[in-house]
Amino acid sequence: MARTAFVTEAGGPEKFEIRDVEVGDPGPGEIRIRHKACGLNFIDVYQRTGLYKLDYPHALGMEASGIVEAVGEGVTHLRAGDRAAYASAPPGAYCEERVMPAAQVCPLPDGISFEDGAAMMLNGMTAEYLFARTTPLSKGDTVLFHAAAGGVGLIACQWARSEGITLIGTAGSDEKCQLALDHGAAHCINYRTEDFEARVKEITEGRGVDAVMDSIGKDTFEASLNCLRPLGMMMSFGNASGPVPPVDLTMLASRGSLKLTRPTLFTHISDPQTCQDMARALFDKVLSGAVTIRVGQSFPLERVGDAHRALEARETTGQTILTL
């Protein structure tokens, strides 16, 4: 039996319930993994509230790390006893042990702890596709990154620095701004005390940035478009403040033939080989020291509701994990 956090119906953090679930043997293409730690992400909040629909009751959680206990027929990249980590569907990672599809589970190098492994996969592979797969970015380019002290943000700050890309971050306090600067941001704007659009134009001497990476959504969308140079790319990859309203495409034309995309990690990792390649690129950044994973806070599984409250209140920095 494995303790597992379920959401009984769409709603607030009070909808969580810890249940004991029987764990069986893996079938073809599956593994059984015993978790050491589980990652917490905003997609979990969207699934809990019903913004992203699930059939309730449903176990939540999209990433974790642990030890592979058994593999099913056809699984060749993992063996029983291997250290592993993943960010993948279906939800259900908030648990002690589970059976799940093996294709997006990745061998975890010995040099990376289980805590870091649980905290890094979803956010780290998100940073990988933002910088390496969404639009051409290279040394000397400038990007605007919202929530620069968050889970993806602190990785993105370091990733940009390692690639010679200038990252202008935003965050909600002077302390969070300093954290982003300490992790490699060239500039960080406190959006509570400064107009980030005006400040970006000042920093770039009116040119604008080559790309915006925005997980905030509704509250920052239009001003972010105004920060782009002509032909710049807007990457809207989250909805922390709510979904972006319908977009009039002439907005993009009038601001300089801008490009707009709404990417997701799960599209990128749906191909198993691509998923493994992205994970290796992330592991290489961490093992080389270019990227350090910051676990800002941890909660025991029984306090998963408190963890969600902290995330929604933007009280967290870096990554958040659940311990077992």
- How does pLDDT run across 28-53, given as a tens digit for each residue? 999 999 999 999 998 899 899 998 89
Residue with more model confidence, 312 or 300: 300
Ramachandran bin of 50, using left for φ above 0, alpha for ψ from -120 to 50, beta for the remaining angles: left
Does the pLDDT at position 215 exceed 90? Answer: yes
For 102, which DSSP code?
A: S
- How does pLDDT run across 280-302, given as a tens digit for each residue? 999 999 999 999 999 989 999 99
From CA 97, how far away is CA 311, in angstroms rounded? 24
**pLDDT reported for residue 140:** 98
Under the banding of pLDDT at 50, 70 and 90, the label for residue 318 is: confident
Q: What are phi and psi of 212, to 5 degrees?
A: -115, 135
Does the pLDDT at position 219 exceed 90? Answer: yes
- How does pLDDT run across 44-101, given as a tens digit for each residue? 998 999 988 999 999 999 999 999 999 999 999 999 999 999 999 999 999 999 999 9
Does the pLDDT at position 315 exceed 90? Answer: no
- How does pLDDT run across 129-156, given as a tens digit for each residue? 999 999 999 999 999 999 999 889 999 9
- How does pLDDT run across 151-199, given as a tens digit for each residue? 899 999 999 999 999 999 999 999 999 999 999 999 999 999 999 999 9
Fold classified for 2-123+266-323:
Quinone Oxidoreductase; Chain A, domain 1 (3.90.180)
From CA 212, how far away is CA 232, in angstroms rounded? 8
**pLDDT reported for residue 51:** 87
Using an 8 Å Cβ cutoff, are 68 and 21 in contact? no
What residue spans define the domains of the chain? 2-123+266-323, 135-262
Give the residue from 42, 29, 21, 22 showing the smallest Cα distance to 320: 42
Average pLDDT, the chain: 96
Under the banding of pLDDT at 50, 70 and 90, the label for residue 239 is: confident
Q: Provide the percentage of residues in the chain whose pLDDT is more than 70.
A: 100
- Quickly count: other Cβ atoms within 10 Å of residue 264's Cβ: 13
Domain 135-262 has CATH 3.40.50.720: yes
